[in-house]
């Protein structure tokens, strides 16, 4: 144990070595930052794709409903005729 209070890491590395060590972490920080940005972009891309799929599914369902209403229209009396009929009585 060292009585001066310096750790063995401080004794073994000079200020220049500590500077190099901090420079070595900068690319690591840059890599982390770039990885995070790439991840965020992937999430955004996936969300856009999912939103588009959901939109297309809603449009298809609405088209099915419209087709059904057109196909069964003959079963129901038109609103205009029903209103005209009720006003005459």
- Asked whether residue 49 is domain-assigned, the answer is yes
Give the predicted TM-score (pTM) of the model. Answer: 0.52
How many Å apart are CA 28 and CA 40, to the nearest integer? 18
Structurally, how many domains does the chain consist of?
1
Show the domain range for 58.
27-88
Residue 65 included in any domain? yes
Task: Judge whether 36 lies within some domain.
Answer: yes
Report the percentage of the chain scoring pLDDT > 70: 67
Tokens 């029903």 correspond to what residue? 82
19 falls within a domain: no
Q: Please, what's the b/e burial string for 15-39 (b: 16 or more CB within 10 A of its CB; e: otherwise)?
A: eeeeeeeeeeeeeeeeeeeeeeeee
Residue 8 maps to a domain:
no
Choice among 8-12, 36-40, 41-45, 67-71 with the minimum mean pLDDT = 8-12
Instruction: Read off φ and ψ for residue 8, nearest 5 degrees.
Output: -65, -30
* Ramachandran sector of residue 6 (left: φ over 0; alpha: ψ -120 to 50; beta: rest): beta
Asked if residue 51 is part of any domain, the answer here is: yes
Instruction: Provide the 8-state DSSP code for 73.
Output: G
């Amino acid at each position: 144990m060292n009585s001066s209070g310096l750790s063995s890491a401080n004794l073994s590395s000079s200020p220049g070595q500590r500077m190099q060590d901090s420079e070595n972490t900068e690319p690591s920080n840059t890599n982390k930052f770039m990885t995070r940005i790439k991840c965020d972009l992937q999430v955004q891309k996936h969300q856009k794709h999912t939103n588009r799929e959901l939109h297309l599914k809603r449009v298809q369902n609405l088209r099915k409903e419209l087709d059904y209403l057109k196909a069964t229209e003959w079963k129901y009396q038109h609103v205009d005729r029903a209103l005209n009929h009720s006003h005459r009585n």
